[in-house]
Amino acid sequence: MDLIPWMEQWDMLPEPGGAVVCAVSGGRDSMCLLHYLWTLSLQRDFRVAAAHLNHGMRPTAQRDEELVRRFCQARDIPFYVGYEKVYDRAREWDLGVEETGRRLRYDFLSATADAIGASRIATAHHLGDQAETVLLNLLRGAGAEGLGGIPPVRGRLVRPLLSTPRSEIEAYVAENGIATVEDETNTDLSYARNRLRLVIWPELEKINGAAAENVARAAAIVRRESVYLDELASSYLPAEGTVVGCNALLNAPEVLRPRMLRLLIDRLDCGKKDFGRVHLASLERLARTGGTLDLPAGVSASCCRGVLALRRAAEDVPGEIVLKKNCPVLWGDWEICLCDGGADTLNLRRGGALTVRPWRSGDRLTLPGSRGARSLKRLFADAGVDPARRDRTPVLCVDGEAAAAYGIGADRKYLAENDRDCFGIKWKKIKGEDGENDA
């Protein structure tokens, strides 16, 4: 097995004296890659380290970790282990278990590479993985990005085995007597990839013995064309950020609009695998109609005044803070102070605990002169408050109930009748939309 031509073609080799982190599960493919890189490092004068993330998702997880540890100890390979509770994180991030595990794994690999100064992170995806990925993406109706399969290189992430068939990996492992473990779930036919690999793929190879190589070659063609189209779509977007003018989006060629939206989502780093064609279509529709939209992975979108904005729903949204007299607090981009009432303050009746927080869906205010209570959401809309700014607009509460919102007004039942014997609220925005101080 000679990986050097492929690695040189894609610039996967570290510089002399450099380092590469190898992702190692303990399975056949990753143990093969670790052994190959270790052997090559002795010839090419670079360092190799092994990184293993213990997800704790199987009873045999500790067995896998110990096998890799022993392998590394016998060869003086630095070994780094991370521990994560994937199911807990999946609930916390509101992501699928598979996507959560993927993000945790790559976060761990990136952190390990940073810690040791590695210029490359190597994973053990091989030719069979590539072909299976492309076919599964085709079955679910993926576009060009999915049909392009797994890229050989993405940043410092490299895949030295991506052009290598399973048979060569198996032969290398046997020839070098490399100990491996087998993931018990690999034979579970309830998983689509296992069923494809164990049942369907052998039938495809009866039709064409080079099926995997041919699928991988087709994927490479699609990937090159997709890169070009991404560059073209990017030219219609601002150089950075996740905001785009609706006219810029809707006047772009129709075929590029989903790519433009996907590129914006990519900038949020929020697990793009949870986003499908239906979400991109909904975003394009939002750009035509205006309003707000909740998306996977805690992302929200808003369209107001001809601008479409994407952001993480919880991004930069402050929590609830208790107000104490004459103790100014910082809440997001605001400085808020509870003081004695006066002519230059918002004056509220005394009584009850005062807090400031973001708005909630059940918040209602009865403004002076109105016929009754109205939802704060409707009041924001009537006042022209951009949906993207509402979570960062302070809402003053008395005993947890909304009493006032900046730019909207105060509920009449909480308003003081005069500026004596009352609480005064001073709120000052310390950063404008352009990041400059307003004060």
- pLDDT tens digits, one per residue of 112-151: 999 999 999 999 999 999 999 999 999 988 888 889 999 9
- Helix (H) / strand (E) containing 145: helix 144-147
Cα 321 to Cα 95: distance, rounded to the nearest angstrom: 29
DSSP notation for 85-123: -HHHHHHHHT--HHHHHHHHHHHHHHHHHHHHT-SEEE-
Enumerate domains of the chain plus CATH numbers. 4-219 (3.40.50.620), 240-312 (3.30.465.60), 321-429 (no CATH)
Tokens encoding 31: 């143990």
Residue-wise pLDDT tens for the chain (439 aa)? 999 999 999 999 999 999 999 999 999 999 999 999 999 999 999 999 999 998 776 778 889 999 999 999 999 999 999 888 777 777 776 667 777 788 889 889 999 999 999 999 999 999 999 999 999 999 988 888 889 999 999 989 999 999 999 999 999 999 999 999 987 777 888 888 889 999 999 999 999 999 999 999 999 999 999 999 999 999 999 998 899 999 999 999 999 999 999 999 988 876 666 688 889 999 999 999 988 888 877 788 889 889 999 987 655 567 788 888 888 888 887 888 888 877 778 888 887 888 998 888 788 999 988 888 888 888 887 887 766 677 788 999 988 899 999 989 999 888 887 766 788 888 887 754 433 333 2
Residue 435 three-state SS: coil
Tokens encoding 337: 């102070």
Other Cβ atoms less than 10 A from the Cβ of 320: the count is 12
Tokens encoding 91: 């609930």
- Helix (H) / strand (E) containing 299: strand 299-304
Angle at 232 between CA 228 and CA 238, to 5 degrees: 135
Q: How many residues does the chain have?
A: 439
pTM listed for this prediction: 0.66
Q: How far is CA 128 from each of CA 30, 150, 193, 224, 228, rounded to the nearest angstrom?
A: 14, 11, 11, 20, 26
Q: Are 22 and 51 in contact (CB under 8 A)?
A: yes
Q: Are 395 and 386 in contact (CB under 8 A)?
A: no
- Helix (H) / strand (E) containing 160: none
DSSP notation for 240-293: SSSEEEHHHHHTS-GGGHHHHHHHHHHTT-S-GGG--HHHHHHHHHHHHH-EEE
Tokens encoding 112: 């390990």
Cα 215 to Cα 133: distance, rounded to the nearest angstrom: 10
Tokens encoding 226: 């997709």
